[in-house]
Structure 1
Amino acid sequence: MKKLVNDPATVVADALRGVAAAHPELRVDHGNRIVYRGDAPVAGKVGLVSGGGSGHEPLHAGFVGPGMLDAACAGEVFTSPVPDQIVAATTAVDGGAGVLHIVKNYTGDVLNFEMAAEIAAAETGVQVAAVVTDDDVAVQDSLYTAGRRGVGVTVLLEKIAGAAAEQGRGLDEVAEVARRVNGNGRSMGLALTSCTVPAAGRPTFQLADDEIEVGIGIHGEPGRHRRPMAPARELAAQLVEPVLADLDFTGGDGVICFLNGMGGTPLIELYLMFAEVRALLDAAGVRVARSLVGPYITSLEMAGCSLTLLRADDELIRLWDAPVRTPALRWGV
């Protein structure tokens, strides 16, 4: 295993020291492994808290800042944050308008966020709502989930719900916007290689040089099937077709199209794949209103990509376009 680490046991703590050094506009609680926007809590604004296992950077700490999250809890690599972390974050960002938890649909994340919400409400009286993302069309159930996995739509939801909260909307309305995003988003991914968790020191799964895994999860969970490597246009169809089969994306105000890198795929390949995806969407009568290309929800050094489509309306597009200032997303400011 070749990785830029000091000790596999301290990867997360060491990385958070780097976050603090690189982004002085953020505040890092190293004891609880929580990243806060520097001005949190914001009086009268709904607080947004998310988090999950480390190894998916920039998710979630890279999305902390004005227009997105107020706090992100960092678990160990591919491991949920614990309830104490989430309670600390929830109480710290409550500006009097309540807190929204954004949770990916993995068993540990769901249970720990639920427990934390109950504790925070009982001990401090903070009002908490939760939205669970479950946009992955690859599998209905997996080793980690009951139902579909939460993947790429999480990024879009954090941006759009963050904009709604920034406008001063109430907790119920921000939660409704978030649920609307989740209900109208679908994702599908594929892997060209595995990844290596530092503490394990070996690849999570094995793929032959001429194989890919279609429908892979962000922790290396198996997908729908393995198939031989193929040209990009054929692989793009493997992403587009199951997403379009699951939800009608034609008509309306178009879609937000997010082509995500899994961590080990260079941008030249991601843009090449986006061109193939865009051609397929055009042929299917799906209008792309906005696009995002890059590694935003990764799986360590896994090579591959995922596609997320969000069926948008005028309001969701306006919220997407609203200013955001975080380490990983920044526009309009």
Structure 2
Amino acid sequence: MTPGELALARGNHTPVTQFILLGFSNYPDVQGLLFGAFLLIYAVTVAGNLGMMALILTDSHLHSPMYFFLSVLYFLDICYSSVVTPKLLVNFLASDKYISFEGCVVQLAFFAVHVTAESFLLASMAYDRFVAICRPLEYSSVMTKGTCLWLVAASYAFGGANSALQTGNVFALPFCGPNQVTHYFCDILPLLRLACANTATARVVLSISSALVTLLPAAVILASYSLVLAAIGRMHSAAGREKVLSTCASHFLAISIFYGTVVFTYVQPHGFTNDTSDQVVSIFYTIIIPMLNPFIYSLRNQEVKDALQRKLHVNIFPR
């Protein structure tokens, strides 16, 4: 029986007006150290993603569909990291780690929008690489400006739909008992444990929806990169093959970590993990991956390195 169901059985019907976020509170002696570490990570995340967005926007050599998608990816990383990390940083220093009921609704809704949109955007990026490598003569006619905008809009549409479904799925339930969320943000599974009702249907909805918004884009990514790898194998130039393979390998690694952690958190059977493992896994896709993406997707790319050199040369040696 969950804490919420236990409260209901005891006859507690007082509506919850705020939640207490207990994430990392089991380590009181290292709160300052954790604050410094996560503050550094967040600063690198914001600076790195904003810097890459500015570089793509201001360098005409990077005005292509691939870099357009990357700029949107960096924006999404800033958004959903900012939904979670600032409140976590405040809680490291605060004795009262509460968040209002309305604030919890907003946090979950905005997080779901951006993390779902990123899932579908990664599929769009994989499709873009498939067309560029496997259909190079058709690339300019297929990946038009309109197509790119439509793919980004579709990603956000899926994000909005999933956010509305998941937020409604959770907060349509009554909360009348314990208000201590065993997580560092208002995530779905810890909230369901506090609901004063049977959550079996809500958990089924969560599993099905999470599977759709992760496994469908993942299938597109796997199919696209499988065809890309087959095309790489047919390349005659060893240098060209090594360059494309290196880029695709780093991208696929980042994608695997993102989808692996999300699937592990939301699609696995009830009771398969505990609160500690959920928090550790969540750190990867909410905090670590947004920091690493600018390095994985851009700083290993020679075009981006050349653009950075041009910007540094202009700023240091202006005409």
TM-score range, shorter chain: 0.3 to 0.5
Relative contact order: is structure 1 or structure 2 higher (C-alpha 8 Å, sep ≥ 6)?
2
Larger Rg: 2
Q: TM-score, normalised by structure 2?
A: 0.32
Q: TM-score, normalised by structure 1?
A: 0.31
